[in-house]
Structure formats: structure tokens, C-alpha cells
Amino acid sequence: MGRGLLIIVTGLFIVYGIIQQSANERQKEISKFSANYAERTKAETIANTMAELAFAEINKHPEDSTAGRFPKMELLNGTGEVELERERPFAPQNPFVVHKVLTAKGTYQGETVEIVIKTKRREFSRYSYFTVSEPTIYFTTGDTLNGPVHTNDEFHIDGAPVFNGKVTSPNDWVASNGDQDDHNPQFNGGQNFNADKIDLPVEVPDLADAASNNGLRFNSSIKATFNSSNSTVSISTGNKSGGGWSRRCWCYQPPSYNWSSPVKYSLDSDVKNGVISASGDIQVEGTVNGDVSLHSESKVEVMGNLKYEDDPRDGKSNDFLGIVSEGNVVVDENAHKANGPGDDKDVEIHASIMALGNSFEVEGYNDGEARGQLKLLGGLIQRERGPVGLTSGSGYKKFYSYDERFLGRAPRGFPPSDIYEFVSWKTEY
């Protein structure tokens, strides 16, 4: 009996010893895991800090190809660094929208964490309405704007205009009578009146260079008519002469052009990168069946309807048009007559429009003639808001719609902004 009890007690001690040893081993593993977790968390904090520093740096110096690269440095009792891949096209359809790939590394006590960040320059075409300067023209009751809206100046508001996209500006809006409480603008997409200013491109030499390579470049003025049936554009070249203020009639006389016979070009095989550029004026109209941007170093004049073959509001459309003018973008005074005789005096334009000289405007908007509606599907980016009509009835009434595809997709060759935004953020242990 006593011997059996001794065996049982001895066995219990052995089992207890095994359990205790296992518990000690587990405790060691837990302690080791806790230490590794703490070290890895610290390394991740260092990597995150380096990533934020790099992202801020590329937005502070967007034109510096080395911005965002940091050599190994001491940080939070560890080390951090950022490697930078060269800028490269973000998407094949638009080689001018580039991205940078940043790899931020954080190391602490032997633990290293990497964060890979892909960024891209935000497309200007995402704005339904953008100005650098706002004259004293009011958004008023009955006005509805869809899509992102921005000005570097201050918006003037009277009544209850509706903004269905986010509204941003460095300055608060101004009421027509000086008292905001008397007005009720609807900022349905949110607002930020403490936003940073956004610079327009001062010059866009890349477009002329690109057109000289895989696009179409003309050292003259051109007349371009888009043909929907076969994805082509017919282009005549010419140089303008005359024009200006005439003492004979005390009126403005438009310049005259001596146009060549039109030549037909394929948007697929002749304009491979989607850029058509001219050193002089561009006159344009027609139906776009393709993806293309027009660039003028002088002025772009819309002579009649300029529409997509497939309207994106009706479903899927792969047609895109960008218009970039280093001067103004003007709707010709006779554009409403391009439809021929009849009561239809509307003009329809499908495009994202950038006027770097000053404005998008209507020729003769104040000549007393009441036209129809100016129907824009796309967006307006201009230095200063330009006139298209008067409340007295002359010119056009505005009917602007936003092409929501531009939130994430620019026409080919359309200039991007200097603001970088995240595409993806991936942490690797």
C-alpha cells in the first residue's frame, strides 16, 4: 500500500514538473512574442512616419523628380528610409498622368517593416468647375453643379444654388448682400473653405512635344472636323490674317483664314497617343468617336456642336475629348446656326475644357441676340470665369452636366495637377 502510494506521489511530481516546464516555455515564447510584437510595432511606426514625410515632400515639390526619396536616417531610436521609383505612366491610355512608387522602411531592434505606397497625380479633368479667379458673378437659385468644384478665389452666392459635389476654396463664400444668413446654398457633397490653392499649369510644352512624336503636330492654325462613322478627324491647315478693331464700322472684325483642302486622319493609327496640337488657332466641331485631346498655343474656337458618338449618360461610352488652350476657349458667335435653319439654337459640347489664357466664353454674348442653351457635358477649368450670356437674354442660357467618368479618368494627354493622391498603401512585414 505504502509502495503504491509512493509511486503515485512520484508520478504526480513528474507530471507537475512537466507541466511547469511547459508553462515556463510558453511564458518564454509569450514574452519573446510580446517583445517581437513591440519591436515590429515600433518598426511599423517608423515606416509610417517615413511614408508620410515622403508623401508630403512630393506634394511640396511636385516637379522635383527626386522628391520623396530619403536616405537612411535615425528616427525614434531606430532607422528609417524611403526608396523612390522613377515616375512612370499610371495608365497606358494617358501617359501624362504619372505615378510615383515609394517604399518606406522602418527598422527597430532587428525588426524591419516595409510600406509600399503607389501615388498618382490627380487629373484636372475631375473638376466640373475650376477657376483661379472669380469675378463678381453670382451662383444663384436655379443653378445646379454636379461634381467637384474649386476656386482659388471666393465664390459669390445669391439665394439657394445647389452643389452636388464637394466644394473647396481657400476662402469662405461671399453673399450678394453681405449676410450669409439671408442665403441658403446647398452643399450636398460637402465643403472645405480652408483648402489649399491649386496651381494651373503655367505652360504645357509636353503636349506639343508629344504631338510631334506619336500624335499630330501642326505649326499653323487648323480647322478640325471629327467624323463619327469611322473614328477620323478631317484637318485643314491655314494662317490667319487681319482681324481686330475697325474704325470703318467701329466694330470688331474677325480674322480671315486661307484654308488648305482637308486631310483625313485616323484617331487610332495616326494619333497614337491621342494628342493633336497646333501652334495657331484651332477651329473645331463634329462628332468624336475615340479618345483624343486638342491643344492650341493660341486659341480654340468651337464652331458648332461638338459631341460624342456615344453619350455616356445613355450607358457605356469610350469617347473622351480634352480641350487645352494656352489662350481662351471661345464659342463662335455663329455656332448656334451650324444646325441649319430652324428653331434649334442650342449648342452642345462634350469635353473637359481647360483655358489657360483666361476664360471659356461666348463670342458676342452681349450683342442682344437671344440664342438657345449652351449644353456642356464635361467640365470647365479656367483662370477666370468667362461670360456666356446676360440676364437680359442675350447670349446663351447655361445647361451644364458633369461627366462622372472624369472622376477617375482623364482624356488622353490631358494635363494633370501638381497634387499627388494615394492609389494604394500596402504594409509588408
Contacts (Cβ under 8 Å, ≥6 apart) of 139: 145, 155, 156, 157, 158, 161, 185
Average the pLDDT over each of 114-118, 201-205, 232-236, 366-370 and give the range with the smallest value. Answer: 201-205
Average pLDDT score over residue span 391-417: 87
Please say if the pLDDT value at position 152 is more than 90.
Answer: yes
pLDDT at 140: 86
Please say if the pLDDT value at position 90 is more than 80.
Answer: no
Between 201 and 75, the more confident residue is 75
Average pLDDT score over residue span 401-419: 88
Average pLDDT score over residue span 116-134: 91
Please say if the pLDDT value at position 34 is more than 60.
Answer: no
pLDDT at 236: 97
With 0-12 / 13-18 / 19 or more C-beta atoms within 10 angstroms meaning exposed / middle / buried, residue 14 is exposed
pLDDT tens digits for range 319-343: 999 999 999 999 999 999 887 665 6
Enumerate the domain spans of the chain: 2-122, 201-419
Please say if the pLDDT value at position 178 is more than 90.
Answer: yes
pLDDT tens digits for range 400-409: 899 999 988 8
Q: ∠ CA(157), CA(161), CA(167), 5° rounding? A: 75
pTM equals 0.81
Average the pLDDT over each of 26-40, 133-147, 286-300 and give the range with the smallest value. Answer: 26-40
Average pLDDT score over residue span 71-96: 80
Task: Report the greatest alpha carbon distance in the chain.
Answer: 137
pLDDT tier at 38, thresholds 50, 70, 90: confident
Average pLDDT, the chain: 87
pLDDT at 95: 58
Burial 296-305 (b: 16+ CB within 10 A, else e): bbbbbbbbbb
pLDDT at 423: 84
Query: Contact, 146 vs 164, CB < 8 A?
Result: yes
Average pLDDT score over residue span 421-428: 88
Alpha-carbon gap, residue 325 to 361, rounded angstroms = 12
pLDDT tens digits for range 265-315: 999 999 999 999 999 999 999 999 999 999 999 999 999 999 999 999 988
Between 196 and 17, the more confident residue is 196
- The amino acid occupying position 306 is L
Task: Return the top range by mean pLDDT from 60-74, 161-175, 381-395.
Answer: 161-175
**Would you say the C-alpha torsion 5, 6, 7, 10 has a positive or negative sign?**
positive
Whole-angstrom CA distances from 288 to 232, 295, 350 are 8, 16, 9
Give the phi and the psi of residue 262 in degrees, each rounded to 5: -70, 145
pLDDT at 14: 58
Please say if the pLDDT value at position 346 is more than 60.
Answer: yes
pLDDT at 17: 57
Alpha-carbon gap, residue 142 to 125, rounded angstroms = 24
pLDDT tier at 256, thresholds 50, 70, 90: confident
pLDDT tier at 246, thresholds 50, 70, 90: low
Average pLDDT score over residue span 41-62: 92
Between 401 and 249, the more confident residue is 401
3-class secondary structure for 98-137?
Answer: EEEEEEEEEEECCEEEEEEEEEEEEEHHHCCEEEEECCCC
Please say if the pLDDT value at position 356 is more than 70.
Answer: yes
Contacts (Cβ under 8 Å, ≥6 apart) of 255: 240, 241, 242, 243, 244
SS3 label, residue 223: strand
Q: How far apart are the first and last CA of the chain?
A: 60
With 0-12 / 13-18 / 19 or more C-beta atoms within 10 angstroms meaning exposed / middle / buried, residue 190 is exposed
With 0-12 / 13-18 / 19 or more C-beta atoms within 10 angstroms meaning exposed / middle / buried, residue 66 is exposed
Alpha-carbon gap, residue 42 to 104, rounded angstroms = 14
pLDDT at 33: 47
